[in-house]
Structure 1
Amino acid sequence: MPDILAFDTSNYTTSTALFRDRKIYQQKHLLPVKKGELGLRQSDAVFHHVQQLPDLLEELLRQTPLQDLKAVGCSTRPRTQPGSYMPCFTVGHGAARQTAACFGVPLHTFSHQQGHIAAALWSAGRLDLFERPFLAFHVSGGTTEAVLTQPGTEEPFTVTLLAQSLDLKGGQAVDRVGRMLGLPFPAGPELEKLAAQSQVQFRIHPSMKGADCSLSGIENKCLKMQSDGRPAADTAKYCLCSLLAALDAMAAALLKEHPGLPLVFAGGVMANQFIRKALTEKYGACFAEPAFSADNAAGVAVLTACREGLL
């Protein structure tokens, strides 16, 4: 069967993936972030991608050797909107260009956000949504957006921004509260474990402006809870409950404007089982499995395979 090779060098993860016979094999590794810090400068991210990408590609191809490379795919920018750019994506783009040129195969480029959405659809078994409109949420360290996704002509799907966070992003809120509580970066998995220890029930009134949300109040409230001596588990749970309330309010507002459309949630923050359970029960929403929630090249491989007629 033909092979598809994909690259994604995002702000937090170096990732490679191979698509063959409707199966995905991937290798990825977080960029190293110093203890107590909440991210990397772009120059440092580029450096670490350059260092990590050859090792990951060697490991991927050692486990699953290339047989018949048909095309190469990569992410080149954070979003599809004009002017969307981050230097770290040039590393994966450069590797993809070199590989495509060496093998004489086509190169397909996408946005990082498109890759996240495609990975969610793949892992949820809902590639059928490529053929109809749906609402997709992308919630990560650098993005909290809801977009209208529709079938494209040249693209598998097009993306139109509908709503977003007006200040802090979902992943930023999680990581800032995590640092406050002494958790490692990225804080999502440990914050979820800590929150599970709390028995407190919170009633959250999210800060909304239409379908847009504001998340900066989460950090401020959690700081006050900590200074008041509240248990760390309660603070962690408040953070996640607040994020859930904002996403719920966004979804409700958008469904009033676009009734009946399916909901898809993608991005690293959406690996959280507490948020996933609540939104799945209320809306029947689709979520990526944890291995396909965080930054990955798998979605790019799916999109490339789609363009090449392998799906």
Structure 2
Amino acid sequence: MWILGIDTSCDDTGVGLVRDGVVVVNLVAGQVALHQVFGGVVPELASREHLKALPILVKEALAQAGIAPKDLSLIAATRGPGLIGALLVGYTFAKGFAWALGRPFYAIHHLEAHIAAAWPEGLDPPFLALVASGGHTHLFEVQALGRYRLLGATRDDAAGEAFDKVARLLGLGFPGGPEIECLAQEAKEKVPFPVPLREQKGYDFSFSGLKTKAVQLVEAGYPAPALAKGFQEAAVEHLAQVVLRAAKDTGHRVLLVAGGVAANRALQARFQEAGLTVHFPPKGLSQDNGAMVALAAWRRHQAGFSPSPLSLGATAYWPLEEA
């Protein structure tokens, strides 16, 4: 069974092909150079780039797999959440493709797709899942495929968004996560940052205070590598403390970490030393991509979920608990 997955939820155009649950092709056209001058994603520009890139990527993905459109068994695309203009490009394209081929269509939740990218075959729920990216920082209890309980979320900035903003303060490029990680490795010492919400009993996240502290320290003239190292360590420790508190309270010992921030090596090391069984996405599946959408559709199809009606529209806001 061949599944085509498409993701245009933000600024990456993702097209992936999965065959019987295995990723065969994963193509992503990024827009870093386009948005870098603005220090963040400009929605209208992102949508226009998706329109240009998507047909080319789909054609290339099919060519790399050595198949024709008629060989596809079903089509899937991200329905939401995300930038509505960007979402509509990929979602409408996928629905039209499915209609033209007479194939089933699956509308996929963006966060479920991220979770699917880190979910290894043979792992049965329940377990914890942390999704940390430029647009999301959510901690879920995965009770079953399609059954998610939100334990905590960010009160302000997402983790990846905070990395982007602090990187911009330090004069670094976009996206900020890899830039800060690289700069932090140059530091011989660090500037201490306070770990947010240390005394809370719940599972919320907050990164605006770290951003404010970074502004103060930049204005005070501290060296950029030491600032990058201090910020990264505080952000990673904050994520770890919340997740470990939830693991202790719920009794879960298995954790999936997904989203772009999951590629951060300091975060990976912190969770791997925490005593949990931790799963991260394979290389290339942390950032937004189409293969994770196809993987989510594969799981839903295998579990007996019905295809989505073509009349179902895209949505910028869609809680995962309602997916």
Same fold per TM (> 0.5)? yes
CA RMSD of aligned residues (A): 2.1
Q: Is the 8 A contact 1:179 1:185 kept in 2?
A: yes
| 1:226 maps onto 2:226 in alignment | no
- Tell me the residue number matched to 1:63: 64
> For 2:278, which of 285, 294, 309 is the aligned residue?
285
Q: Distance in 2 between matches of 1:273 and 1:101?
A: 42
Residues 75 and 57 of structure 1, relative CA distance in 2, 3 Å threshold: same
| 1:135 maps onto 2:125 in alignment | no
Q: Distance in 2 between matches of 1:263 and 1:220?
A: 30
Structure with the bigger RCO (C-alpha within 8 Å, sep 6+) is: 2
- Tell me the residue number matched to 2:319: none
What pairs with 1:259-274 in structure 2 (closer than 5 Å)?
Answer: 259-274=251-266
Deviation at 1:62, TM superposition (A): 2.2
Q: Is the 8 A contact 1:6 1:301 kept in 2?
A: yes
- Tell me the residue number matched to 2:13: 14
- Tell me the residue number matched to 1:161: 150
| More moved, 299-308 vs 30-39 | 30-39
What pairs with 1:1-311 in structure 2 (closer than 5 Å)?
Answer: 2-21=1-20, 22-32=22-32, 33-67=34-68, 68-78=71-81, 86-121=84-119, 126-129=120-123, 131-151=124-144, 156-200=145-189, 202=192, 204-208=194-198, 209=200, 210-282=202-274, 283-309=276-302
Instruction: List gaps (5 residues or longer) in structure 1.
Output: 79-83
Q: Is the 8 A contact 1:15 1:297 kept in 2?
A: yes
Write the deviation string for residues 13-38 of structure 1: whole angstroms up to 9, x where unpaired: 11000112533311111135333423
Write the deviation string for residues 16-63 of structure 1: whole angstroms up to 9, x where unpaired: 001125333111111353334232343332222111111211221222
TM (norm. structure 2) is 0.85
TM (norm. structure 1) is 0.88
Q: Distance in 1 between matches of 2:187 and 2:235?
A: 16
Q: Is the 8 A contact 1:280 1:286 kept in 2?
A: no
Whichever residue aligns with residue 125 of structure 2, its letter is: R
Q: Helix, strand or coil for the counterpart of 2:288? A: coil
Deviation at 1:10, TM superposition (A): 1.6
Whichever residue aligns with residue 132 of structure 1, its letter is: P
Whichever residue aligns with residue 191 of structure 1, its letter is: I
Deviation at 1:205, TM superposition (A): 3.1
Q: Distance in 1 between matches of 2:179 and 2:193?
A: 23
| More moved, 248-257 vs 204-213 | 204-213
Deviation at 1:309, TM superposition (A): 3.1
Instruction: List gaps (5 residues or longer) in structure 2.
Output: 305-323
| More moved, 194-203 vs 218-227 | 194-203
Deviation at 1:234, TM superposition (A): 0.9
Q: What percent of counterpart residues are identical?
A: 31
- Tell me the residue number matched to 1:81: none
Write the deviation string for residues 240-282 of structure 1: whole angstroms up to 9, x where unpaired: 1111121112112212331134111111111111111111111
Q: Is the 8 A contact 1:3 1:66 kept in 2?
A: no
Q: Helix, strand or coil for the counterpart of 1:305? A: helix
